[in-house]
Amino acid sequence: MQNAHVSGSGTTPALLPAPFATSQVILTKQEHIQLKQQANLWHAMWKAACGREKKVLAKNASLIAQHKAEMAGLNTQVADLKSELAHMKHLLFGRKSEKTSSSSKKSGNTTRPPSNRKRGHQPGVPGSGRHLHNNLPVVHESVDLPVDKQCCTVCHRPFKSFFNDDSCDVIEVEVKAHVRRYHRRHYQKTCQCPETPNITTPPPPPRLINKGKLGISVWVELLLNKYAYGIPINRQLESYKTQGLELSQATISFGLEAITPFFEPVAEATREFVASSDQWHADETRWISWAHETTGSHKPSFTTLFRNKFLGTLSPK
């Protein structure tokens, strides 16, 4: 600034003024404008820096809150895993006794929430369909009418063999699983008797379950292995796979439910026989069942075994 000069007073006051209090600075208009521009520029840059600082602080606060939420979720997950580990250790190394109360099992170690989902096939989910079992060998057997049935029941004129026959498959298990295919011959009448049908076919072989694909030998082996030899159903199904036969667990479960009424007369006769004895032996024990036969509850129930020297019967509570 070439044109600036300083002028001061010649007298010395009693009290010394502040430094440069009486000094005057003379600027040109151009210098004044330049200084104002610089001041406005630096003020604008300061405002922009303050705005950036606020954004950075807000972002940092958001990241801190997000990290705190993630840490809380991880801590919850660690607590759940520790609880599950403690529960698994209790199941593996804990004490096992029939006197253990049901409340001790509900100690809160499990982290799995209760579910209202029913067991087995869910509504709306497509099924797997029937297995054709094309890998099994087929043993052909002919089913024919008895000799006295191969004629008209009215005039006793013999039938003549028809050109086609019906075939139906039944899976049987002997030494090796196979499909037993029955061929039923058709007979056409040779008379004009209206009471006799035009085509006569022998009835299909009897089945334990109507339209069931499993033969009686399969059910006999399943029941004997389960109740006589103590082999679970799933282990028997795994054994059948070694013979090339794949059966669904649901098929066996529904089949056992279907044939249950066949054993009710046997169970009732067993109860009557045991009750008619002059001496009983009773033993009550805890018996875990799929569902109670009257209430449908899945809770463990107590079952009492009554028996005499010949037979025994169970009486669930």
pLDDT digits (tens, 9 = 90+) for 278-289: 777 777 666 655
Structure tokens at 291: 């569902």
Asked whether 194 and 155 are in contact (CB, 8 A), the reply is no
- Region 242-257: mean pLDDT is 89
- Chain-centroid distance, C-alpha 279: 47
Supply the pLDDT for residue 310: 65
- B/e letters for 66-99, b = 16+ CB within 10 Å, e = fewer, are eeeeeeeeeeeeeeeeeeeeebeeeeeeeeeeee
The contacts of residue 207 (CB under 8 Å, 6+ apart) are 170, 215, 216
β-pair partners for 305: 283, 314
Pick from 140-144, 251-255, 302-306: least confident: 302-306
Asked whether 161 and 185 are in contact (CB, 8 A), the reply is yes
Supply the pLDDT for residue 303: 67
Question: In whole angstroms, what is the distance from residue 317 CA to residue 313 CA?
Answer: 13
Question: How many CB atoms neighbour CB 255 within 10 A?
Answer: 19
R_g (Cα) of the chain, nearest Å: 47
Supply the pLDDT for residue 103: 47
State the DSSP string of 98-115: TT--HHHHTSS---PPP-
Quickly count helices (H) and strands (E) in the chain: 5, 7
pLDDT tens for each residue of 202-235 = 888 888 888 888 988 899 999 999 988 899 999 9
- Region 272-279: mean pLDDT is 79
DSSP one-letter code for 281? E
pLDDT tens for each residue of 170-199 = 888 766 788 888 898 899 988 889 888 999
pLDDT at residue 293 greater than cutoff 80: no
Question: How many CB atoms neighbour CB 208 within 10 A?
Answer: 15
Supply the pLDDT for residue 167: 82
Asked whether 109 and 86 are in contact (CB, 8 A), the reply is yes
Strands 138-143 and 177-188: parallel
- Region 121-127: mean pLDDT is 79
Angstrom distances, CA of residue 254 to CA of 4, 16, 257: 111, 114, 5
pLDDT at residue 75 greater than cutoff 90: yes
Question: In whole angstroms, what is the distance from residue 197 CA to residue 73 CA?
Answer: 78
Q: Return the residue matching tokens 């009418």.
A: 145
Supply the pLDDT for residue 205: 83
pLDDT tens for each residue of 10-48 = 455 556 777 777 778 888 999 999 999 999 999 999 999
Structure tokens at 30: 């151009």
Supply the pLDDT for residue 77: 93
pLDDT at residue 52 greater than cutoff 90: yes
The contacts of residue 111 (CB under 8 Å, 6+ apart) are 80, 83, 84, 87
Dihedrals phi, psi of 306, to nearest 5 degrees:
-110, 135
- Chain-centroid distance, C-alpha 121: 9
pLDDT band at 70 (very low <50, low <70, confident <90, very high): very high
- Region 84-89: mean pLDDT is 89
Supply the pLDDT for residue 227: 85
